[in-house]
Amino acid sequence: MTTKYKNVYIKDTATVVGPYEYEGPLSKRFDKHYEDMYFNEETLEKAETKLMSDSIELALDKSKLKSEDINLFIAGDLQNQITSSTYAAGKLNIPFLGIYTACATNTEGLALGATYIESKICKNVMVSVSSHNMVSEKQFRNPTEYGAPKPGTATFTATGGATCILTNKKSKVRIESATIGIPQDYAQTDPLHMGSVMVPAAANTIHRHLTDLGRSINYYDLILTGDLGIYGKEILKDFMKTEYGMELNNYNDCGVMLYDLENQKEVQAGGSGPVCSALVVYSDILKKLETKELKRVLYVATGALFNPTTVFQKSNILSIANAISLESVE
């Protein structure tokens, strides 16, 4: 399903990151960063909520809007029962939609928000995501202080919070269309190779988006996947070629762009987590769209859908990808 929008604009965005992301190549472009992983909070879980709350505060400041001007708040994260989002929402007094498609949450939120604005139900919608490396390690893997060795295909959950305010008033960048993903099952079971899990979803969504709108792959100046990592990125190129006969030329992956893979060995195959793609798009890609360095970007966030129990029960890991087409406004 692909929806076109005529009247949805990105007003402002804000990004808050932890120390590893600040060491990466996008370092100076983030709005705020923390030196440690607790941010003066008692627990890691509260620290993640703080990331989201900080980004919300910054986005509202930038947009000069008050929280009562926002008609709807949409948010999601990786924590059990998305509590990072619910605690952040609890401070706001705005109607709240909690959403989850793992690392594809951000584009799901943007697509939902855009639909609410296009249908004139809302004037301003705020979309937030967060993730915290140590919260995810604790929930999905081993205790953080254990430091169990992982294979090179493993990705590193990004620590950060990101917020975007969508509006019906003209700005420099607009959301042109959105394609909602279809869950894909390619019988993958390795949670330490999420790239291989998510490639079929990314490929399916990109292909459907282009077919639905009758566009060629070169229509976009850049196709950007969420967090496939260095190995997933190569698998996707191969997949697109063998399955659809498409060459991915103007293509990059947010997981690869967020960190300096040469010098930050701890991130292994690259970044992941709902906030990973949001951090790259808000801090880097939107700026390039504003200055018209890029004109059309297809942002395809990808998510692996599983929980720790289903993994141990050897169930297949499903994947999903939601795509958003971003355009610079003339």
Given 43, 80, 81, 211, the residue binding another protein (CB under 8 A): 43
> Could you give the CA distance from residue 178 to residue 298 in angstroms, rounded to a whole number?
9
First to last CA, the chain: 27
Given 234, 252, 290, 310, the residue binding another protein (CB under 8 A): 234
Give 87 or 186: the residue with its C-beta nearer to another protein: 186
DSSP element (H, E) containing 83? helix 83-90
**SS3 of 94, please?**
coil
Binding of another protein by 34 (CB under 8 A): no
Q: Are the CB atoms for 47 and 41 separated by under 8 Å?
A: yes
Binding of another protein by 39 (CB under 8 A): no
In whole angstroms, the minimum distance from the beta carbon of 87 to another protein comes to 15
> Could you give the CA distance from residue 169 to residue 167 in angstroms, rounded to a whole number?
5
In whole angstroms, the minimum distance from the beta carbon of 238 to another protein comes to 6
**SS3 of 235, please?**
helix
Give 59 or 235: the residue with its C-beta nearer to another protein: 235
Token pair recorded at residue 111: 């697509």
Given 11, 132, 174, 193, the residue binding another protein (CB under 8 A): 193
Stretch that binds another protein, among 6-14, 211-219, 229-237, 280-288 (CB under 8 A): 229-237
Q: Are the CB atoms for 99 and 109 separated by under 8 Å?
A: yes
In whole angstroms, the minimum distance from the beta carbon of 80 to another protein comes to 12
> Could you give the CA distance from residue 199 to residue 321 in angstroms, rounded to a whole number?
9
Given 144, 168, 250, 252, the residue binding another protein (CB under 8 A): 144
Binding of another protein by 264 (CB under 8 A): no
Stretch that binds another protein, among 61-69, 74-82, 166-174, 228-236 (CB under 8 A): 228-236
Q: Are the CB atoms for 15 and 161 separated by under 8 Å?
A: yes
Stretch that binds another protein, among 57-65, 85-93, 123-131, 183-191 (CB under 8 A): 183-191
DSSP state of 74: E
> Could you give the CA distance from residue 322 to residue 302 in angstroms, rounded to a whole number?
7
Query: Which phi and psi angles does 103 have, rounded to 5°?
Result: -75, -5
Q: Which amino acid is at 166?
A: L
Given 187, 309, 312, 314, the residue binding another protein (CB under 8 A): 187
Binding of another protein by 36 (CB under 8 A): no
Binding site for another protein (CB under 8 A): 42-43, 138, 142-149, 151-153, 186-188, 193, 196, 200, 231, 234-235, 238-239, 242-243
